[in-house]
Amino acid sequence: MVDIEDYKGREQSYVKHVLLEQYLEALVHKTASVYPHIVYVDGFAGPWQSSNEQFEDTSFGIALRALRRAKASWKAAGRDVTMSAILVEKTPAAFQQLLTLQPKFPDINVIPEKGDFISLIPTILATIPARAFAFFLLDPKGWRIPLKALQPILARDNSEVLFNFMFEFINRAASIDDPAVVAGLNELLPFGDWRTRLSTAQTSDERKAILIDAFTQCLSTGNYKHICETTILRPDKDRALYSLFYGTRHDVGLEVFRDCQVRALEAQAATRATAKVDSAERKTGQTELFGSLHEMSANEATAFLDAERKKARDALVALAPASSSPILYKDLWPQVLVRHVVRRPDVNKLAAELRKEDVLKFPDWEPKKRVPQPEYKVYRSD
Ligand SMILES: C[S@@+](CC[C@H](N)C(=O)[O-])C[C@H]1O[C@@H](n2cnc3c(N)ncnc32)[C@H](O)[C@@H]1O
């Protein structure tokens, strides 16, 4: 398990790593039941600011342990799955550390690649067998990524992506006229009319929504069925620092990701509480602030999740069609999950409540069923 003690002063990485750890654990285990080979690709691997000798506080360290656990548990069940990790790093000193990994993980094929990730894309794709499932983590330090060059990665079937979009820097860069900055940002966000929309934005929330929407649109060129964004806040301020974009071609991927995200959010509330307390303590020396700030942040998380559940309820009603054109419930719940930070069981419960209140109709609902089944037809009451 990732340990908060390894993340002093970079609590936002802790939140990212909690989400990564929980999601990879579930993803690798699930996909290994179907695919004979799982490949984790870390495009910008580091290590970066690691303070743990076993690299337990790095993305590749987290991934290697998830691959190892899934391999062992399938092996115990009589199934042999090949696990590989392609780790790309351009800085020589960091790359040297990647070279020390193979002896520590003899059960995994560790493939360190030295150089610029974008230039190495053809080599990387050629290394991944067609029958393998691949997970791409793209976590660059900056934002100068030409999105069109990523197309072969985004287009690969049997793949998912997690992209760290450096929101705070990108938002700032979007107000800069320097031609090099303008050109760089246009390469990151090559599609859509986001610049025109930004010029009319009134509030920081509107700017954020426009940029998130623009990058979602750009990633959609990879034919992902679902793309969702997770905001990571500055640990000591209520401001977005970066946005993790997750793309998947499967409903179940979305379901598992949201589940992990809700748990990561709870971790985020706890770490932000700690960071706020640390800086408040430094300023005032009042340790009694501890309790109240902790409480405040726990409430913050609860309030956010409550608000998301309310929005999910409204979305269920708004997205359900009229009685003349019912859809199947299995096509409704993913539309809600992609828009809101809720878990599928919560959406199921909301759907059951809305049925009781006669807002939604489920003509196929069977006696004794507490939540809707995937094949049930659903529509809005007239
Ligand atoms: C933010 S750090 C990665 C952190 C890591 N994902 C984690 O969570 O532990 C980004 C890394 O990418 C490397 N890097 C930057 N540009 C690169 C490029 N074009 N190709 C490959 N690596 C690059 C940097 O040297 C740095 O080590």
Question: Per-residue pLDDT tens for 233-275?
Answer: 776 667 888 999 999 999 999 999 999 988 877 776 666 666 6
* Ligand 1 atom showing the smallest separation from residue 42 Cα: 6
Own/partner pairs, 313-317, CB within 8 angstroms, 24+ separation: 313/350, 313/353, 313/354, 315/339, 315/340, 316/347, 316/350, 316/351, 316/354, 316/360, 317/354, 317/359, 317/360, 317/380
Distance from Cα 117 to the centre of ligand 1, integer Å = 9
My answer on whether 218 and 327 are in the same domain is no
Q: What is the pLDDT of residue 51?
A: 85
221 & 90 share domain: yes
Ligand 1 centre from 45 Cα, in Å?
5
19 and 159 in one domain? yes
- Return the percentage of the chain with pLDDT > 70, whole number: 91
> How many angstroms is it from 107 CA to the middle of ligand 1?
25
Do 206 and 298 share a structural domain? no
Residue 120 CA, closest ligand 1 atom number: 20
300 CB-contact burial (10 Å; exposed 0-12 / middle 13-18 / buried 19+):
middle
**The predicted structure's pLDDT at residue 271:** 67
Distance CA 227, CA 220 (A): 7
Domain co-membership, 230 together with 165: yes
Q: Looking at the structure, do residues 232 and 282 belong to the same domain, yes or no?
A: no
| Residue 206 lies inside a defined structural domain of this protein | yes
Q: What is the CATH number of the domain that holds 234?
A: 3.40.50.150
Pocket test for ligand 1, best of 40, 48, 164, 169 (most atoms within 8 A of CB): 48
Q: What pLDDT is attached to residue 204? A: 93
Same domain, 75 and 136: yes
**Is residue 263 situated within a structural domain?**
no
User: Does the pLDDT at position 28 exceed 90?
Assistant: yes
Q: What is the pLDDT of residues 351-381, one digit of tens each?
A: 999 999 999 999 999 999 999 999 999 999 9
| Least-confidence region, from 22-26, 65-69, 293-297 | 293-297
143 Cα distance to chain centroid: 17
Q: How far is the CA of 88 from the centre of ligand 1 (A)?
A: 8
Would you say residue 185 lies in a domain? yes
Residue labelled with tokens 């979602």: 216
Residue 286 clears pLDDT 60, i.e. is over it: no
Distances (CA, A) of 44 to 16, 89, 181, 238, 349: 15, 6, 21, 27, 40
Closest C-alpha residue for ligand 1 atom 26: 46
pLDDT at 50 > cutoff 80 = yes
Q: Which domain holds residue 65?
A: 4-250
272 belongs to a structural domain: no
Question: In terms of domains, do 96 and 188 share one?
Answer: yes
> Is the confidence at residue 281, as pLDDT, over 70?
no
Residue 111 lies in a domain: yes
Residue 379: Cβ within 10 Å count: 18
Structure token digits, residue 21: 């750890």
In a domain, 266, yes or no: no
Closest-CA residue, ligand 1 atom 12, reads 44
pLDDT band for position 287 (cuts 50, 70, 90): very low
- CA 18–ligand 1 middle distance (angstroms): 19
Query: What Å distances lie between residue 118 and 89, 151, 154, 190, CA to CA?
Result: 11, 11, 13, 16
- 185 CA from centroid of ligand 1 (Å): 19
Query: Could you tell me if residue 258 is inside a domain?
Result: no
CA distance 51 to 58: 9
- Mutate-to-test residue for ligand 1 from 3, 40, 54, 90, highest number of ligand atoms within 8 A of CB: 90
The reported pLDDT for the residue numbered 289 is 32
Give the atom of ligand 1 at the shortest distance from the alpha carbon of 140: 10
State the average pLDDT over residues 140-157: 95
Same domain membership, residue 324 and residue 224: no
Tell me the pLDDT tens digit for each residue of 301-359: 778 888 999 999 999 999 999 999 999 999 999 999 999 999 999 999 999 999 999 99
For the chain, the domain total comes to: 2
Pocket of ligand 1 (CB under 6 A): 44, 46, 48, 58-59, 88-91, 94, 116-117, 139-141
Residues 91 and 232 in one domain: yes
- Ligand 1 center to residue 122 CA distance, Å? 19
Which of 141, 147, 232 is the pocket-test mutation for ligand 1 (most atoms within 8 Å of CB)?
141
| pLDDT attached to residue 356 | 97
- Residue 314's domain is classified under what CATH number? 1.10.10
For ligand 1, the distance from its centroid to the CA atom of residue 49, given in whole angstroms, is 11
Q: Looking at the structure, do residues 180 and 298 belong to the same domain, yes or no?
A: no
Atom of ligand 1 nearest to the CA of 137: 6
State in Å: Cα 118 to ligand 1 middle: 12
Predicted confidence at residue 298, as pLDDT, reads: 58
In a domain, 264, yes or no: no
Question: Both 310 and 357 in a single domain?
Answer: yes
